[in-house]
Chains A and B, each alone.
Chain A
Amino acid sequence: MISSYVAGLLAEIGIASIAALSVHVILAVGQLSLGNAAFMACGAYTASVLTVEHGVPVPLAIAVGAVVSGVLGLVVGFPALRLRGIYLAMATLGFGEMTRSFFLSLDATGGAAGYSGMQRLSLGAIWAWALPLLVLVLLAERSRLWLALNAVRDDETAARLLGLNTVALKLGAFTVGAALAGIAGGLFAHWHIFIEPGAFNLDRSIEMVLAVVLGGSTIALGPVFGAAALALAPEALRFIADWRLAAFGALLIVILLLRPQGIIDRRLLRALKP
């Protein structure tokens, strides 16, 4: 029997893993999103309103939240096709801030006061979402589709010459990524049983990207490892007291310098195999 504290951390890791996978999938086509907290917010608010006000069962509500977030991802994905790299990052950052500002002024969901009334999910329920999704992404990574995504990332022109529909691939990645973030949001809402616009700020978006970059984006285990590391770091650094956040920043820099490809990559996994 694990203590509820460990259970709490495990639940958070589960939710953060799905959130990190949402960035991972979008990154597979070489698109960097600094606005995924917006999709998470969208999933969280949609699912919560459905369960609280319409009595929809939680799994169905979360699925609907994922669809709504996915559609929003598709809508945002279209203009995003025009942008790359740091410019796309800045545009999605702006989108994230606008979405947060939208929920802040939306009285129907409580505005700044937040929204509550949800039922709490169990740790098992959260991982019942997280594990299959992780397996799904791992399987997808072995498919030709993923090769196509990476081809777009590596050289879009060449990918187009090969006959790949780069527009569809990029939009698809954005949509799936947004839907994953929506699921993470729905789970977040039904784990903390209280949500507010401040929970989906730029820090949250950055956390998702950090999980991917620190964990490693060559294989889906990387983002999951990164999410776990980010959830545990603040707890592990408690002994530094007042300098806790600074230590976190320093650790971030050191890891980026030592392993710019992320902590987990295929070579490391091969080396670990007996």
Chain B
Amino acid sequence: MLLQQLVNGLTLGAVYTLVALGFSLVMGVLGILNLAVAELFMLGGYVGLTLMLDGQPLLVGLGAAALFTGLLGVVVERVAYQPLRHAPPIAPLLSTLGFSVIFQTVATNVWGSDPLLLPPELMDARYQLGSVSVGQAQLVVMATAVGLVVGLALVMRHTRFGTGLRAIAENRDVARLLGVPAPLVTSGAFALSGAMAGVAGVLIGLHYGALTPFVGVEVGLKAIAVMVVGGTTSIWGVLLAGPLLGVLEVMTVAFGGAAFRDMTVYGLMILTLLLRPQGLLGRAGGAQRV
């Protein structure tokens, strides 16, 4: 049973990693907590799964979701972030929250507040490895989490977009002097963050087989904890912190009771903030940038 619980924890960790990536990209570069990411995750799930229910293949669902939530990410950036760039960080936090509320209402009015259920047959294959059983969707979620982290790290290191983002993270004005098209790159970061959240939504919806308009709330908070523990300035951090919190949560539930679960997860987040504000893999000094 312990092994099976480990697999459960790793899957949950991969789920958190996927959502945390969306938060982390914008937070790491711009120091903004974009709360709408949690709802972009939810909307991506609805768009992708609706298409798949319509008979479209997985890749079409993923592509459409990524495109849709990526565009919405830019809308959020243009409306809720750009005009408030020089305001205290609470202002964009609350304006992105405004978008969260809007997105939840849109989903409720379009798809209803009842859970959207996928037919049980979708991605239903299971593999038995000794005493441990793993599902196809589970493997896809885990593989995608790793793939997206590696991909994003490569983009950040080796593309002009990535170096531009990192330059803006250091100093926006200097970056512009060096010829980085700051507004374009910033929009790109929001688009990418939204698209990743959308992809996460489709895969996670597929894995659990059900979605509600409020699915982003709890997962979003946990993903923020993952981002903090991993380090807001580190892409690789979420790949470490996601599974860590996932396994920790599952083990607390399995051996301590669900009552202590939130205490453990948020306790770890607070401890990280106090003792190692840059997170497990972040650079020192990162937490000062606000």
Contacts and interface: CB of A to CB of B under 8 A. Distances in A.
The answer on A and B forming one complex is yes
A94 B270 contact: yes
A86 B232 CA distance: 11
Interface residues of B, number: 46
Interface residues of A, number: 39
Contacts of A90: 33, 224, 228, 269, 273
B25 to A, nearest CB: 15
B83 A86 contact: no
A97 B266 contact: yes
A95 B263 contact: no
A32 interface: yes
A253 interface: yes
B105 A249 contact: yes
Interface string A69-86: 000000000010011111
Contact of A101 (B101, B109, B263): B263
Interface in B20-73: 27, 31-33
Nearest to A85: B290
A245 B104 contact: yes
A253 B267 CA distance: 32
A90 B273 CA distance: 9
Interface in B216-236: 221, 224-225, 228
A84 B290 contact: yes
Nearest to A202: B221
A43 B114 CA distance: 36
B106 interface: yes
Given A86-B89, A87-B273, A93-B221, 20 more contacts: A87-B228, A89-B90, A90-B228, A90-B273, A91-B273, A94-B225, A94-B269, A94-B270, A98-B262, A102-B263, A105-B260, A213-B90, A213-B94, A242-B105, A249-B100, A250-B102, A252-B95, A252-B97, A256-B80, A257-B83
10 contacts: A86-B290, A87-B273, A87-B277, A91-B274, A93-B224, A102-B263, A206-B94, A213-B91, A249-B101, A250-B98
The 9 residue pairs across chains A and B that have the minimum distance between CB atoms: A249-B101, A85-B290, A94-B266, A246-B105, A252-B98, A253-B98, A105-B259, A101-B262, A249-B102
